[in-house]
A and B are shown apart, each in its own frame.
Chain A
Amino acid sequence: MRCHEARLLFTVLWDDEITQAEKEGIEGHFASCPSCRREYDEYARALELVAALPRVETSADMVEATLARARRSSTAPDHVTERPAWVPATAAAALLIVVAALVTHWTGVGPGPWVDRPVASLPATPPATTTPVATAPAPASATKAPASGPVATAADSLFDPNQDVEFVLDPVTLRRGRASVMQTLPAGVQAERAVISF
């Protein structure tokens, strides 16, 4: 067995998924090649060190939540349409306008900072650090709630996917012929050590 062949078998040797013939071959090679032996030992030590690292616990639904956010932010088209001829020209024009706007902004020429002007086509992201203000027009409802307090003013932005909205449907557990609506534990309480008082 040659060195490069032996090195290809490092992972299967570590995982103990190696055949008897391969094992004999690689051990014979180790006996004659101290550099491969050393390399394998380092490889094994590195894997052991990594395995010994403390595990970082994340919330159980982190993957799902992250994927949901990614899906919301990047809505890919179902099919690719052929690009019309006017698209590059429009893109070039738009780029020109943006560059011109930036230049006027930097040189101080023209009206105030562009960020302060309302832009109709901006994505409707919720203002995280300011009090949310309803931007959508009120629907034609006969008995609309009186606009008292900040909650009422934002009532119509509910169905914006960027808003903080939860559509409620509780999970129910089935255990040995019993069914019960699942209780969510308070933050910081772990299931194994949880105590319930009644």
Chain B
Amino acid sequence: MRTGLNRLGRALLATGVLAAFAAGSRPVAAQNSVSVMDVETIVRAARPSVVTVVAQRWTGQAATAKRPATRRLRSSIGSGVAIDADVILTTASVVQRSEKVFVRSADGVEREGQVIGFDLVYNVALIRTPGARFQPLRFANGRPPQEGDWVVALGTSYRDQPTTSFGTVSVRYREPRFGLIQLSNSVYPGNSGAAALNSRGELIGIVQGDLGVPDPAGRFSESLRRPGGMSFVLPVEIARPVCEKLRTEGRVPHGYLGVSTRSASVESETEPGSPVPIGALVESVVPGAPAQKLGLKRGDLIVGFDGERVEYADQIARWVATAAPGTAVEIVYVRGQTPHTGRVTLTDSPNAAPVWAMGGAVAAPESTSGQRRIADLERQILELSNELQKLKSSSDRR
């Protein structure tokens, strides 16, 4: 009788513990959280849709009668996500300037792909791999990811290694028309174009990069790269319409103001020696462009764009480029000491992206001076190696 009661007591206790567990887990599930089991399921289901993208191009020059070839094969390797049975979404950083593109799936099958189109402003590219039957990932359709949401990042890194990282949405940046999401996930070299998935296994964005060092205009050194744990993704709300444009038109139209500016700053009063950005200083205005219609002149300081404060030249350049042609925007600029406000309709940009150049002459992104310098170096190296060959052959003869 006593043992029977004991047994009953134990059974009741076990039921109580189970009930407590069940009660405790229900609110967590309701918060859209992820258990370890769910992560495994998400990763297993999404892995076949994540690929390695290899973009190759030749550099150097072909052989001539006088000199041997200096051609070298350069490969850029990133990750990609299948968004259709034969369409891969990746970043423009991976495929731009490539001559051939290969797509390697998780099972090791390699296919040659064709770049449908890429956009340098949004850093998005689409590749078609004829004959492939990838399992496409669904775009997240529900509410946009919010700070604190779980995120799984899937990509590939060195030697086709699959990378998986688990984190949360840290910050959603409210940049006009172009807000990146910051994750706490670790990302790895080669993860450009990797998938960021929510707790339902849907695509919420593609990985763009990790935290670099702030610099007014892009002088970035690999040696200054900071430790991981801060990664950035382009959310699908932005990437999706860009993909649609690329698929239907092959390009994404960008807004155009027709102005060349440089970042202006003043010295800080509280911290002497450190610059405080004040806006974009107009260097020149393209005749007939919207900027001229607005009345902008050399020396004006652009400080406002559609209700947002402009601090850096590349900032307003990005905002203008990400606005659709035909958009009317309000520009605030300072001439002398007087602020002026004007409204202007942006036109379609003739460039693929805002163009950097030295002050004065505006050059294409691949500046000729840089190319000339590289060609000079190549010639010098060739001459040196020819001399070495001569020395070697003369010593061999001796």
Instruction: A168-B77, A168-B190, A193-B262 given; name 16 further pairs at CB < 8 Å.
Output: A60-B223, A167-B157, A169-B189, A170-B91, A173-B214, A179-B175, A181-B232, A188-B358, A191-B217, A191-B218, A195-B359, A196-B314, A196-B354, A196-B356, A197-B317, A198-B316
Interface residues of A in 145-193 (CB under 8 A from B): 145-146, 149-152, 154-155, 157-159, 163-193
Q: In the complex where A145-B102, A198-B257 touch, is A163 in contact with B75 (Cβ < 8 A)?
A: yes
Q: A interface vs B, CB < 8 Å?
A: 60-61, 63-65, 126, 128-132, 139-146, 149-152, 154-155, 157-159, 163-198
- Of chain A, the residue at the smallest CB distance from B364 is A186
Q: Does B94 contact A (CB under 8 A)?
A: yes
With a cutoff of 8 Å between Cβ atoms, the chain B residues found around residue A169 in the complex are: 78, 187-192, 207, 209-210
Distance to closest chain B CB from A142 (angstroms): 5
Are A64 and B222 neighbours in the complex by a CB distance under 8 Å?
yes
Q: When each residue 209-223 of chain B gets 1 if its CB lies under 8 Å from chain A and 0 otherwise, what string results?
A: 111111111111111
Docked Cα-Cα span, A157 to B382, in Å, equals: 24
**Least CB separation from A106: chain B residue:** B396
Contact assessment for A173 and B373 in the assembled complex, using a CB-CB cutoff below 8 Å: no
Q: How large is the interface on B (under 10, 10 to 19, 20 to 34, 35 or more residues)?
A: 35 or more
For residue A197, which residue of chain B has the nearest CB?
A: B260
Nearest Cβ distance between residue B17 and chain A, in whole angstroms? 46
User: A129 touching B68 by the CB < 8 A rule?
Assistant: yes
User: Do the beta carbons of B158 and A171 come within 8 Å of each other?
Assistant: no
* A57 CB to nearest B CB, Å: 12
Minimum CB distance partner of B132 in chain A: A143
- By the criterion CB–CB under 8 Å, are B220 and A168 in contact? no
Is B256 in contact with chain A by the CB < 8 A criterion? yes
Contacts of A142 in B (CB 8 A): 109
Task: Assess whether A198 is in contact with B70, with CB atoms less than 8 Å apart.
Answer: no
A167 and B355 form a contact (CB under 8 A): no
A155 touches B102 (CB 8 A): yes
B142 at the interface (CB under 8 A from A): no
Q: Is the CB of A139 within 8 A of B262?
A: no
Say yes or no: is B149 at the interface (Cβ < 8 Å to chain A).
no
- Nearest residue, chain A, Cβ from B254: A198
* B residues less than 8 Å from A159 (CB atoms): 158-160
| Alpha-carbon gap, A193 to B123, bound state (A) | 25
Return chain B residues, CB-CB under 8 Å to A179: 171, 173, 175, 179-180, 182, 232
- Is B75 touching A187 in the complex (CB atoms < 8 A)? no
Shortest distance from the beta carbon of B280 to any chain A beta carbon, whole Å: 8
Chain A to chain B contacts (Cβ below 8 Å), 24 pairs: A145-B100, A146-B112, A150-B58, A151-B58, A151-B99, A152-B100, A152-B112, A159-B160, A168-B77, A171-B213, A171-B225, A172-B210, A173-B213, A177-B174, A180-B314, A180-B318, A182-B209, A184-B218, A186-B363, A186-B367, A186-B370, A188-B373, A191-B219, A194-B359
